[in-house]
């Protein structure tokens, strides 16, 4: 495989990386806040809530927002588990690396491919949100399918251009955007609560309203092919509180990743969960008639404009556009890093090209071009669909649930063998945290039996079949031994040593 020129001056982190068989080939300039910003931007409560609030109004009514805190607790438990693994294996490629080294390279490749398909579609879903639910209100135009497709395509190109030219400037932009989102969402929430209360537009009954959703069977779990109305509300949190592990995919660019990355992941989930829920309450209180609002394609933007007026709403919606752009930027960055990591191990189709680091820009330039082209192709496929946004967010919720479930199961099987580094451990809380994560993921995956997700499942099946064909080619050409990870023996030796020491 190509041997990138090592980066000098990276100290102990480069030595730690060498234990996994890799040279330091990208610059380490990601600190604590930048790592948190990556995780927080991917979660992006502005993006997730703007994307899915309308769907929740139609499926569960306003009372569906009470599923949010439950989803946050479940995802926080998952973040603790994944953070523990990320601290032990601080290598770019996150779930692909974890599964390859702790289970086996074949399962690792499968999870890596599923992660890639998730990132390729979720960046389209996020950027589609800008074009379909925010810009039409902000710029006062009709968001037809053709216009939405064109705007989304331009946003994808802008993100890819920034990432291809400079990782440092991409992170600087993201740091600023996250700071703006944190300040802006707090300000937006406070203003909605105060102005709605002063004007008498605050309706507490909305918090417990079912809207236009039928009361019969509302609280039921559902049957074999459908989930109950309130159960579908969990997709609000399940779609939004994902991607926190993206910080782990920049492990080779982060200073002291064993300590910084897992904390960034958990802090991002907690901050997003608390702030997001308060914002949901504020919006729902000021929603007016929830039945009428559910018919809008831009419900959040409509509430903001009605409550705060056009001038303030314009400024706040501009902040939301920047936040969503940053979310898509981080998603694309994560997908590019995964493509590069799998290519470095000669596991990705056309790896010879995508494993290269540009000597001029110090970025995976060619991997960036590949990723944005694939994203544009996915966008073109969904461009004329009337239900494009729901299909995209459905697939983008299903795929991480599969990845998280596989990773948590792997942790259950290998947790006693993981070496302890003293930088991030669950300690006495391990069993209850893992139990919460397992129960939550089983419940979440059960929601996707609903027939409304058939197109999302179709996307998953098509991409898995494509991946299976390439995996079959790799196995036929190299055999199982040919898929061994670089310096696999090093971590095996550590695991064997820890197991032999009788550590409980």
Nearest Cα to Cα of residue 157 among 270, 325, 29: 325
User: Is this model's pTM higher than 0.85 or not?
Assistant: yes
Q: Residue 496: what pLDDT?
A: 52
Asked whether residue 269 carries a pLDDT value surpassing 70, the answer given is: yes
- Taking residues 82-90, report their average pLDDT: 92
Contacts of 61 (CB under 8 A, 6+ apart): 209, 210, 211, 212, 213, 229, 290
Cα 382 to Cα 404: distance, rounded to the nearest angstrom: 26
Using a pLDDT cut of 70, give the percent of the chain over it: 93
**Averaged pLDDT score across all residues of the chain:** 87
Q: Residue 3: what pLDDT?
A: 45
Confidence of residue 115 (pLDDT cuts 50, 70, 90): very high
Distances (CA, A) of 493 to 94, 106, 162, 418, 501: 21, 20, 41, 11, 12
- Taking residues 300-308, report their average pLDDT: 89
Confidence of residue 103 (pLDDT cuts 50, 70, 90): confident
Q: Residue 9: what pLDDT?
A: 43
Q: Please give the backbone phi and psi of residue 393, each rounded to the nearest 5 degrees, phi first.
A: -70, -25
Of 392 and 9, which is predicted with more confidence? 392
- β-strands 226-227, 222-223 pairing: antiparallel
Confidence of residue 1 (pLDDT cuts 50, 70, 90): very low
Confidence of residue 2 (pLDDT cuts 50, 70, 90): very low
- Taking residues 252-274, report their average pLDDT: 94
Nearest Cα to Cα of residue 45 among 231, 188, 146: 188
Q: Residue 486: what pLDDT?
A: 77
Residue-range domains of the chain with CATH: 33-479 (1.20.1740.10)
- Taking residues 465-471, report their average pLDDT: 90
């Amino acid at each position: 495989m190509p041997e990138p020129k090592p980066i000098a001056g990276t100290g102990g982190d480069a030595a730690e990386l060498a234990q996994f068989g890799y040279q330091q080939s990208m610059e380490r300039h990601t600190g604590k806040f930048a790592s948190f910003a990556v995780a927080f931007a991917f979660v992006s409560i502005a993006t997730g809530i703007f994307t899915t609030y309308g769907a929740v109004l139609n499926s569960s009514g306003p009372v569906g927002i009470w599923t949010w805190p439950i989803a946050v607790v479940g995802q926080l438990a998952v973040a603790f588990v994944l953070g523990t693994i990320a601290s032990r294996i601080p290598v770019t490629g996150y779930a692909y690396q974890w599964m390859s080294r702790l289970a086996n390279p074949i399962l690792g490749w499968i999870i890596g491919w599923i992660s890639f398909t998730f990132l390729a579609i979720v960046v389209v879903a996020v950027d589609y949100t800008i074009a379909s639910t925010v810009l039409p209100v902000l710029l006062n135009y009709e968001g037809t399918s053709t216009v939405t497709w064109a705007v989304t395509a331009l946003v994808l190109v802008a993100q890819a251009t920034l990432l291809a030219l400079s990782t440092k400037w991409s992170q600087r932009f993201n740091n600023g955007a996250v700071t703006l989102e944190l300040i802006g969402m707090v300000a937006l929430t406070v203003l909605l609560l105060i102005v709605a209360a002063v004007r008498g537009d605050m309706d507490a009954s909305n918090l417990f309203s079912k809207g236009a959703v039928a009361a019969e069977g509302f609280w039921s779990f559902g049957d074999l092919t459908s989930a109950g109305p309130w159960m579908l509300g969990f997709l609000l949190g399940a779609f939004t509180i994902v991607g926190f592990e993206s910080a782990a995919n920049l492990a080779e660019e982060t200073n002291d990743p064993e300590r910084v990355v897992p904390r960034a992941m958990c802090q991002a989930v907690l901050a997003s969960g608390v702030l997001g829920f308060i914002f949901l309450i504020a919006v729902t209180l000021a929603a007016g008639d929830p039945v009428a609002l559910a018919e809008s394609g831009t419900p959040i933007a409509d509430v903001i404009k009605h409550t705060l007026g056009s001038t303030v709403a314009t400024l706040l919606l501009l902040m939301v556009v920047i936040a969503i752009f940053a979310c898509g930027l981080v998603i694309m960055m994560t997908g590019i890093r995964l493509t590069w990591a799998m290519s470095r191990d000669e596991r990705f189709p056309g790896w010879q090209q995508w494993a290269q680091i540009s000597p001029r820009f110090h970025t995976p330039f060619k991997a960036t071009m590949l990723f944005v082209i694939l994203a544009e192709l996915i966008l073109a496929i969904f461009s004329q669909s009337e239900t494009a946004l729901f299909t995209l967010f459905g697939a983008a919720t299903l795929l991480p649930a599969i990845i998280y479930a596989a990773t948590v199961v792997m942790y259950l099987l290998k947790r006693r063998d993981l070496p302890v580094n003293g930088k991030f451990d669950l300690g006495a809380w391990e069993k209850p945290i893992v139990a919460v994560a397992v129960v939550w993921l089983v419940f979440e995956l059960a929601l996707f039996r609903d027939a409304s997700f058939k197109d999302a499942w179709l996307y998953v099946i098509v991409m898995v079949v494509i991946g299976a064909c390439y995996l079959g080619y790799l196995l036929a050409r190299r055999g199982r031994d040919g898929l061994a990870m670089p310096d696999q023996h090093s971590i095996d030796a550590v695991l064997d040593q820890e197991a032999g020491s009788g550590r409980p």
